[in-house]
Structure 1
Amino acid sequence: MSLPPGFLDELRNRTSIAQVVGRKVIWDNRKSNQAKGDMWAPCPFHQEKTASFHVEDRKGFYYCFGCHAKGDAISFVKETENVGFMEAVEILAREAGMPMPARDPQAQEKADRNAELAKVTEAAVAHFRLQLKTQAAAEARAYLERRGMDQATLDRFEFGFAPNARQGTFQALTGKGFAADQVIEAGLASKPDDGSAPYDAFRDRIMFPIRDARGRCIGFGGRAMDPNARAKYLNSRETPLFDKGRALYNHGPAREAAGKGQPLIVAEGYMDVIALAKAGFGAAVAPLGTAITEDQLRLLWRISDEPIVALDGDKAGLRAAMRLVDLALPLIESGKSLRFVILPEGQDPDDLLRAQGAPAMQALLDKAEPMVSLLWRREIEGQVFDSPERRSALDRRLQEAVKRITDPSLRRHYGDAIAELRRALFRPQRPQRGKGAWRGRGFAEAQAPLASTRTKAQALNGEALRISLILATCLRFPDLIDDFEDQLDRLNPSDPDHGQLAAHLLRSATRDPIALKDEISASSLAPALESLEATGHLRITPFLMGNGDPVRAAECLTEEFAKLTATRAIQDELAEATQDLGEVTDDEDRTLAFRLNEAVRGKHAALHPKGDDGSEQFGETAQARAAFHQLLSAAGQGKKHEK
């Protein structure tokens, strides 16, 4: 069976030889460099203990320095699975999700014809380069000079020029012996519907040859010199050689530069790529006049695990970034993602490099944002979340986006990252709670005694233990999470493990206790769960043992949230009281004591909902006044206030 042209190239592009070989060997982690796809292992073809079997994932080949076995993914499957060539192709195609083509007895004929078309495009490259040196291209040369293109750059990227003539290119190529049909099929000329003479596809344009990963010229891009032209940039139409959704400008040189450690940069246009390469960023590519496609994403990941997408700092650039996020979410996996650089407004990489030079570009690349940051920015930018409904809508949008990630581990990590961002947006740090704010020089003096007071209070009231009990109850009775969603959302624990567990409970879609526990155990929160379950006090609670009672569990949560709120209230009153420590009059003393007394009464009511006798209430009042006097003494007032 003959395969159609390009099928094997596409299969190799979609297949990671490191993954194929990795099923048969154990990599030597000391010798391998996974980030660069440079992998070493003992050879699977002969017995050895040293790692002499070398795999270059980006180039798609393997070689053993011991037995000299070499080949690509297809030959590796042939040798290790003991199958023929076509069966090996079928195995890899099935793994890559590529349907095997139907029998095509004329495939070899098509391959031969494409080889002839490649000769036509190569002849066109030479023709366009020659035309750039003529008088007709004077304006084009002046434009390139204004853009900073020196002769070395012109030669490196094979700049050319298509004269403003109806049949200039067509006649030049047919004059070299190429058939008219070949020139038309290669996309260099078009034939009118009325049957008249063919005309050139590119006229009065600066020409950019487009080459595939193997270095063949498969098409062209042309920039119009006429400012009134219908299209500023024009690509070759689809041909047997050229599919713009499956090609990248500067593919081959960028792959080589990335293999030497340079970051892979994805820019928007030809001139951006050329400017980046000229400034020393050789691993730069661009899509061909369209938004990045799924096939182009896979090509990018074959070059680098984490390409950096550099987009113009305007609305169109931001929209392109957001479209790319949506495209990439179902495709990303562990170790395969994108980072983003949004340039200053109104600038592209070429503008930035000409204005500020390579260091400015490098500084932006060093601060490239992960994809989750762009996803978050899209959902919150320009939004006001001043109601539960708006917050809920944000959560729903983010959950829908994260659900599109197919890798379970990566999906959990995205959920954790978004939970952290959400917490930073909606939950202020606890020292900022209360009606007042720290102000003046009293902060430094009051901070130490207040921290000491809070530490003691927390040790007495067991805030961490109370939060542990709340989380454990929600884990045992997940159906209650929705009923207490608002309280959980404002839980704001000091322990980061507790905060992440609470965020996971709110985010999780499952309400089955066993499934929920398994979900957390399989995530990065497994140690936090183990620590929670190992808490001595919680091991004896009925909510972690047996079937339990959902009604009693709901009552427990209601009480514990009320106790937590009341305990924090007195801490906030103590914090506000310290702001006024200074010249305190007797009246102010009474006011502060009253506020502390009321806070403690509220705490007492929460801790003892059924009520106690008056002596105990008096004891709580005395506790409040004692705390107040302690604060005065710590502030250096040394006054005694008799009531």
Structure 2
Amino acid sequence: MSLPPGFLDELRTRLSLGQVVGRKVMWDQRKTNQGKGDYWAPCPFHQEKSASFHVDDQKGFYYCFGCHAKGDAISFVRETENVGFMEAVQILAGEAGMPMPARDPQAQEKADRRTLLADVMEQAVQWHKLQLQTAAAGAARDYLDKRGLGPEAQARWDIGYAPDNGGIMAHLTGKGVDSKLVIEAGLAAESDRGGSPYDRFRGRIIFPIRDGRGRAIGLGGRAMAADARAKYLNSPETPLFDKGRSLYNQKPAREAAGKGTPLIVAEGYMDVIALSEAGFGATVAPLGTAITEDQLRLLWRISPEPIIALDGDTAGMRAAMRVIDNALPLLEAGQSLRFALMPEGMDPDDLLKAKGASAMQDLLDQAIPMVQLLWQRETDGKVFDSPERKAALDKTLREKIKLIADPSIRSHYGEAIKQMRWALFNPRNTASPRKQSGGARQPWNRNAQPWQRSLSPVPSNKQSALGAGAANEDHLREAVILATLLATPAVASEFEAQLERMTCADETHTRIRDGILTHIGAVDVVETLTAELAFDPLEKLKEQTHVRITPTVLRAGDIEAARLCLGHELARLSAMRGYAREVSDGMEDTLDDVADESVTWRLAKAAAAVDTSVRRETNDTADFETAENGAKLSKDERSAFDDMLSRISLTKKGQGEAG
């Protein structure tokens, strides 16, 4: 709604800024000169003991010499009550006795009707408060006392009581209120049998529900009878009250959150009251429903990252899980949710009574991000012992991540899920000694810091003639691979799987590899790793001359060249190490007298893999011979291969003679 010219100037003229601010501060009488409109007080926007907050009532401005807050009456109301511009204008216009500019006739009629209904609701709140002090409400007062709510707390929260026989309709109509207004406000309902209207709330403790402006818009009733049809009953939908767009304790919580207090979302009235009484003033609750999209938007207008603190039972966890599905499509940068998980079987009120406010604060400090609870929901109690189950998990998580509209958040969620997936599917364990000696790679732990990760075992080639010179060649290939990834980090994600399987020959290469995997997708990988490792990883690798003159290092950022180089070098490294393991394992089989034709077959397959990678590397066959299966082998490899076959032949001959 637009405001007519001069409206705000007239509003500021009619208001006394000293009176507006005076509701929130205590003036320092030693420095204040009211006659001149010169006021001083401790600043309401930051903690201080001295009076550095100055109000110039004649000019209509305030300024703090401590935190430098400044503004006029409108900005003061916006900041102290955490409301929007138009809400602040409406609040001040009401104080100044200025009607807000007229809207279209229908809108004005609706606004007038809501004002009437709000007045009816406020009368009902006050009547129910009086009923709580009667003899008929003795059991209700005892219940509240047991819950830790004495008379003062009851008065602060306007808690009331609806007698078993009702009475609100009779009271309000006796005060001249039209019965149709009582029904429209949701306090009474028409009888299906055609009789006189009946009171909706009977035999219940009454909790008033107020909107962001503090107006009573509905009631919540807690049944005293154990056999009541519903333990909690809220007002029905009315022109004033929409439970899917309202929050219990909204106005006080908004004001507290505006001062920096974390916003907490509890499950019910008693949790909100208990938390607020314990010092957690920025606490709200939905009204008998799962948190809706409208309520989420309302929460984010109050605070960018509310903490959901639902009960630690099955129903509470189900409610938390439903929140995730509603929130994912609405996420924006800096706008999310965190979850404080209550101990099993406890709600916030139980926790406060059992362990105090410090225990609650500890839980709030440990609140987990939404992505972690999403992962927990999809994995807890499930076993992923087959490719099909793992694929089903991947599909479910992909579908959930697709719900996020913001591409940046979607990307970060994918990265976080990937890290948790690796932690689940690659737990730390040790392979058999024989496989470790053959070069089996221990799983890489993405979650650990680079200096915390254990080193992968280094393959041993002591039993093979391939060990001569092969280790140096492997080390050089690793260096070229790592340097290429650092020079062109944009291609790292395409080779992530191969890089994770690559066993590094020394500690330095291992740390660089783990660092690259940790920061895949980042553009400043070298700078980040330099800070983490305390040395420049690319310069370290370039100490080897061959690495320094590698084309992909010289032409940093050439994506196509980097792809070709990495594809070739990783394939060659994998083939050579695979062949070395087969030779090593084959020699063990021979020594253990278990050699058979399968050893020859395995060696031939490994040699063929080497041949494929060699053909990509060079057309120069001067130093290579051809095996029986057509694979090209170096002279050293051929010698080891022939030696292997000779051992197998002798073993089989000995077995025949023994037979």
Q: TM-score, normalised by structure 2?
A: 0.63
User: What does 1:11-50 align with in structure 2 at a 5 Å threshold?
Assistant: none
What is the match of residue 11 of structure 1?
none
Residue 459 of structure 1 deviates from its aligned partner by 8.0
Q: Is the 8 A contact 2:496 2:517 kept in 1?
A: no
Q: Distance in 1 between matches of 2:127 and 2:145?
A: 21
Shift of the alpha carbon at 1:219? 0.5
CA–CA distance in structure 1, aligned partners of residues 262 and 75 of structure 2: 14
Checking the alignment, whether the CA contact within 8 Å between 1:238 and 1:244 is kept in structure 2 is yes
Which residue matches 1:327? Answer: 326
Contact 1:224 1:231 (C-alpha < 8 Å) held by counterparts: yes
- Using a 3 Å threshold, how does the CA distance of structure 1 residues 406 and 549 change in structure 2: closer, same or farther? closer
CA deviation after TM superposition for structure 1 residue 420, in Å:
1.5
Q: Which residue of 1 aligns with 2:403?
A: 404
Structure-2 residue corresponding to 1:97 = none
Q: Which residue matches 1:249?
A: 248
Distance in 2 separating the partners of 1:448 and 1:391: 27
Please tell me whether the aligned partners of residues 601 and 621 of structure 1 are also in contact (alpha carbons under 8 angstroms).
Answer: no
Alignment check: 8 A CA contact 1:604 1:620 kept: no
| Corresponding residue for residue 185 of structure 1 | 184
Q: Which amino acid aligns with 1:128?
A: H
2:552 maps to what in 1?
A: 539
Are residues 1:499 and 2:498 paired?
no
Contact 1:223 1:233 in 2 (8 A): yes
Q: Distance in 1 between matches of 2:73 and 2:605?
A: 69
AA partner of residue 496 (structure 1): D
- 1:334-349 correspondence to structure 2 within 5 Å: 334-349=333-348
What is the match of residue 122 of structure 1?
A: 122
- Structure 1 residue 189: deviation in Å? 0.7
Q: Which residue of 1 aligns with 2:202?
A: 203
The one-letter amino acid paired with 1:466 is I
Q: Does structure 2 retain, via aligned residues, the 8 Å contact 1:427–1:490?
A: no
User: Which whole-Å CA distance do the structure 2 matches of 1:316 and 1:58 have between them?
Assistant: 42
Specify the SS of the correspondent of 1:207. Answer: strand
| 1:229 alignment partner in structure 2 | 228
- CA offset digits 1:600-635 (Å, max 9, x no partner): 99999976765546656779999xxxxxxxxxxxxx
The secondary structure found in structure 1 opposite 2:196 is coil
Alignment of 1:402-441 (within 5 A): 402-428=401-427, 432-435=430-433
1:463 counterpart (450, 463, 478): 478
Query: Residue 574 of structure 2 aligns to which amino acid in structure 1?
Result: F
Structure 2 vs 1, CA of residues 226 and 496 (structure 1 numbering), >3 Å: closer, same or farther? same
Letter in 2 for 1:561: S
8 Å Cα contact 2:488/2:559 also seen in 1? no
Hey, what's the Cα distance between the residues in 1 that align with 2:159 and 2:224? Answer: 14
> Structure 1 residues 496 and 557, CA, compared in 2 at 3 Å: closer, same or farther?
closer
Counterpart of 2:405 in 1: which secondary structure?
coil
- Is residue 131–residue 163 contact of structure 2 (8 Å, CA) maintained in 1? yes
Relative to structure 1, the CA distance from residue 267 to residue 563 in structure 2 (aligned partners, 3 Å threshold; closer, same or farther) is farther
Whether 2:157 is the aligned partner of 1:157: answer yes
- Structure 1 Cα separation of the partners of residues 324 and 500 of structure 2: 28
Q: Quick one: structure 1 residues 612 and 113, their matched pair in 2 at CA, closer, same or farther if it must change by over 3 Å?
A: closer
By how many angstroms is 1:380 displaced?
Answer: 1.5
Give ranges in structure 1 of 5+ residues lacking alignment: 4-32, 34-49, 64-70, 77-88, 90-102, 439-446, 505-519, 574-586, 623-643
Residue 211 of structure 2 contacts residue 247 of structure 2 at CA under 8 Å; is this kept in 1? Answer: yes
Following superposition, the deviation at residue 261 of structure 1 comes to 2.4
Q: Equivalents in 1 of 2:371, 2:284: separation in Å?
A: 23
- What is the Cα deviation at residue 267 of structure 1? 0.5
| Alpha-carbon RMSD | 5.0
SS of aligned partner of 1:372? helix
Does residue 359 in structure 1 map to residue 358 in structure 2? yes
Q: Give the drift of 1:56.
A: 12
Residue 405 of structure 1 aligns to which amino acid in structure 2?
I
Report SS of the residue matched to 1:329: helix
Map residues 229-628 of structure 1 onto 2, 5 A cutoff: 229-428=228-427, 432-435=430-433, 460-466=475-481, 487=498, 490=501, 494=510, 495-500=513-518, 536=548, 537=550, 539=552, 558-563=571-576, 610-612=631-633
CA contact (8 A) 2:300 2:335 kept: yes
Unmatched 5+ stretches in structure 2: 4-44, 46-66, 89-100, 437-453, 462-470, 505-509, 530-535, 615-630, 644-659
Deviation at 1:271, TM superposition (A): 0.6
- Supply the distance in 2 between the matched residues of 1:376 and 1:525 (Cα, whole angstroms): 31
Shift in alpha-carbon separation, 1:72–1:132, aligned structure 2, 3 A: closer
Residue 540 of structure 1: CA displacement? 6.4
Return the alpha-carbon distance in structure 1 between the equivalents of residues 298 and 456 of structure 2: 61
Match of 1:213, SS? coil
Report how far residue 334 of structure 1 moved: 1.4
In structure 2, do the counterparts of structure 1 residues 226 and 239 end up closer, same or farther at CA, with 3 Å as the change threshold? same
Aligned residue number for residue 93 of structure 2: none
- How many angstroms apart in 2 are the aligned matches of 1:570 and 1:121? 87
- Give the match's secondary structure for 2:310: strand
CA contact (8 A) 1:601 1:617 kept: no
Distance 1:540 1:157, change over 3 A: closer
Q: Which residue of 1 aligns with 2:168?
A: 169
Q: Which amino acid aligns with 1:336?
A: Q
Cα separation, partners in 2 of 1:159 and 1:194, compared to 1, 3 Å: same
How far apart in 1 are the matches of 2:202 and 2:168? 9
- The structural deviation recorded for 1:311 is 1.3
Counterpart secondary structure, 1:208: strand
Q: Which AA in structure 1 matches 2:292? A: T
2: distance between equivalents of 1:62 and 1:277? 21
Larger relative contact order (Cα-Cα within 8 Å, sequence gap ≥ 6): 1
Distance 1:287 1:418 in 2: 29
**How many residues are treated as equivalent by the alignment?**
495
- Following superposition, the deviation at residue 247 of structure 1 comes to 0.8
Q: Write out per-residue CA displacement over residues 350-403 of structure 1, whole angstroms, 9 at most, x where no aligned residue.
A: 111112211211111111100110111112222222233322222222222222
**CA shift at 1:335, angstroms?**
1.1
Select between 281-290 and 489-498 the one with higher mean Cα deviation.
489-498
Aligned match of 1:134 = 134
- C-alpha deviation, 1:424, in angstroms: 1.6
1:206 aligns to what SS in structure 2?
strand
> Could you tell me which amino acid in structure 2 is paired with residue 105 of structure 1?
P
Answer yes or no: is the 8 Å Cα contact 1:55–1:62 preserved in 2.
Answer: no
- For 1:241 and 1:107, locate their aligned partners in 2 and report how far apart those are by CA, in whole Å: 14
CA distance in 2, matches of 1:492, 1:316: 47
TM-aligned CA deviation for residue 159 of structure 1: 0.9
Judge conservation of contact 1:192–1:198 (CA < 8 Å) in 2.
Answer: yes
Residue aligned with 1:337, SS: coil
Contact 1:461 1:567 in 2 (8 A): no
The alignment partner of 1:342 has SS state of coil
> In percent, how many aligned pairs have the same letter?
49
Q: Does 1:105 align with 2:105?
A: yes
| Matched position secondary structure for 1:106 | helix
Whole-Å separation in 1 of the counterparts to 2:113 and 2:525: 55
Local SS of the residue matching 1:209: strand
Cross-structure match for 1:28? none
**Do the aligned partners of residues 527 and 209 (structure 1) sit closer, same or farther apart at CA in structure 2, a change above 3 Å counting?**
same
TM-score (norm 1): 0.64
Which amino acid is 1:539 matched to? T
With over 3 angstroms needed to count, the CA separation of the structure-2 counterparts of 1:75 and 1:238, relative to structure 1, is: closer
- Look up the equivalent residue of 2:215 and give its one-letter code: R
AA at the equivalent of 2:356: G
Task: Tell me if the contact between 2:190 and 2:197 (Cα under 8 Å) persists in the aligned partners.
Answer: yes
SS in structure 2 of the partner of residue 336 of structure 1: coil
